[in-house]
């Protein structure tokens, strides 16, 4: 079972993309992952080009990269060249191939915006984990820094940080930042230490310890730290002092705004691009068998709904049937299949599916009510 099955590498053939590819290759060797290469050609209005010829040229470049990967023992399963908006196409194909990770290069060091516009947009809108590789980064991981704020997003980040650190024998630094003054509690000047403040800080420290106790750290070289101040400033300071090879941060789910999409702390840190950065929003990089199976079922269910909306009803039914074979108690799949059969005029099949959905729901509700009473 491959814990990291597919890595999508976005390239524009620049130096930053070459460095991102080296990092992706490093990860692929460790996890025996497959690599998918994508290059997006921007549509430029008013510029007349032979699109077919250009696409063939760029495809050949990707195939040459694929051949080089094969010499290193890495499987390159797909090369994709498309026209359009880069971040949209990258996200589209990351979903289509259900990749574990998107890897791409950042902007140039020393620039006002070192993250790069395409990388920012992919990080903002992709549900998949994204790794943006800082220019000049070597293809190894010896130090990992994972900031946590006890949220579900940071829990996901820490789980993946632990497994990546253990895989590469890297040292993991876990950091949390308190915006409350810590001076009195840590003995740096007790003048500011009112009893209420001390109690608050003790609660924060206790919460931190309790959060960390939930993770398996046996055989892992790791340290924990707590700092006082503005979270994004302290994270950047920790990067400058510890010089990690990878900063791994959780970010929030989707909404309409960058700051809510990423979280204000993650946004401000990532935009500085202090080192190579990986963000996790809704999915894990490392998928264990159960997680992969659930993701697979959900992917087929999503495709079924899309096909149903497009009136490709028979194909939609096959997707829902796949979901039900994997999980016979998947109520939504039974209901959507009932709708599909209804659309096809197959009343008997539609009624059978609707009755099955109702039966499962009734059974589950009884089970849940019984658990609550007990």
Per residue, what are the HEC states of 135-194?
CCCCCCCCEEEEECCCCHHHHHHHHHHHHHHHHHCCEEEEEEEECCCCHHHHCCCHHHCC
Helix axes 117-125, 86-96, angle to 10 degrees: 40
| pLDDT, the chain, mean | 85
Regarding pTM above 0.75, the answer is no
Does the pLDDT value for residue 180 go beyond 90?
no
Does the pLDDT value for residue 187 go beyond 70?
no
Does the pLDDT value for residue 370 go beyond 70?
no
Structure-model confidence comparison of residues 6 and 251, the more confident one: 6
**Domains recognised in the chain with CATH numbers:** 1-134 (3.40.50.620), 140-287 (3.40.50.620), 289-373 (1.25.40.10)
The answer to whether the CB of 129 falls within 8 A of the CB of 251 is no
Q: Mean of the pLDDT values across residues 54-66?
A: 96
pLDDT band, very low/low/confident/very high, at 194 (cuts 50, 70, 90): low
Does the pLDDT value for residue 305 go beyond 50?
yes
Report H helices in the chain: 15-31, 51-71, 86-96, 117-125, 152-168, 183-186, 195-213, 231-242, 258-262, 264-272, 289-309, 313-326, 331-344, 347-373
- Distance from the Cα of residue 304 to its chain's centroid: 23
pLDDT at 254: 42
pLDDT at 253: 46
The answer to whether the CB of 251 falls within 8 A of the CB of 153 is yes
Does the pLDDT value for residue 228 go beyond 70?
yes
Q: What is the CA radius of gyration of the chain?
A: 24
- Distance from the Cα of residue 144 to its chain's centroid: 17
Q: What are phi and psi of 368, to 5 degrees?
A: -65, -40
281-298, pLDDT tens digit by residue?
A: 888 998 876 566 667 788
């Amino acid at each position: 079972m491959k814990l990291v099955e597919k890595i999508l590498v976005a390239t524009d053939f620049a130096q930053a993309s070459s460095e991102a590819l080296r990092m992706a290759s490093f990860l692929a060797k460790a996890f025996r992952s497959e690599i998918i290469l994508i290059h997006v050609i921007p549509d430029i209005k008013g510029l007349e080009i032979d699109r077919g010829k250009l696409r063939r040229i760029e495809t050949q470049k990707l195939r040459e990269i694929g051949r080089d990967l094969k010499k290193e023992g890495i499987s390159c399963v797909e090369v994709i060249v498309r026209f359009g908006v880069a971040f949209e196409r990258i996200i589209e194909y990351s979903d289509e191939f259900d990749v574990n990770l998107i890897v791409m290069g950042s902007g140039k060091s020393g620039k006002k915006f070192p993250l790069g516009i395409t990388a920012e947009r992919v990080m903002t809108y992709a549900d998949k984990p994204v790794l943006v590789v800082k220019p000049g980064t070597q293809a190894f991981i010896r130090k990992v820094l994972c900031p946590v704020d006890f949220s579900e997003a940071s829990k996901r980040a820490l789980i993946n940080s632990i497994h990546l650190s253990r895989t590469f024998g890297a040292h993991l630094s876990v950091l949390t930042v308190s915006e409350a003054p810590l001076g009195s509690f840590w003995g740096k000047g007790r003048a500011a230490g009112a009893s209420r403040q001390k109690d608050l800080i003790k609660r924060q420290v206790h919460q931190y310890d309790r959060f960390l106790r939930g993770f398996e750290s046996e055989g892992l070289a790791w340290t924990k730290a707590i700092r006082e101040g503005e979270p994004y400033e302290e994270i950047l300071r920790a990067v400058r002092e510890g010089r990690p090879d990878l900063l791994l941060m959780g970010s929030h789910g989707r909404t309409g705004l960058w700051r809510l999409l990423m979280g204000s702390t993650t946004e401000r840190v990532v935009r500085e691009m202090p080192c190579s950065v990986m963000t996790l929003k809704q999915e894990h990089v490392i998928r264990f068998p159960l997680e992969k199976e659930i993701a697979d079922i959900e992917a087929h269910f999503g495709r079924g709904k899309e096909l149903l909306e497009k009136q490709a009803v028979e194909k939609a039914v096959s997707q829902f049937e796949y979901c039900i074979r994997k999980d016979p108690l998947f109520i939504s799949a039974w209901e959507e299949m009932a709708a599909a059969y209804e659309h096809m005029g197959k009343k008997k099949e539609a009624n059978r599916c609707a009755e099955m959905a109702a039966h499962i729901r009734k059974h589950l509700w009884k089970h849940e009510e019984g658990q609550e009473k007990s």
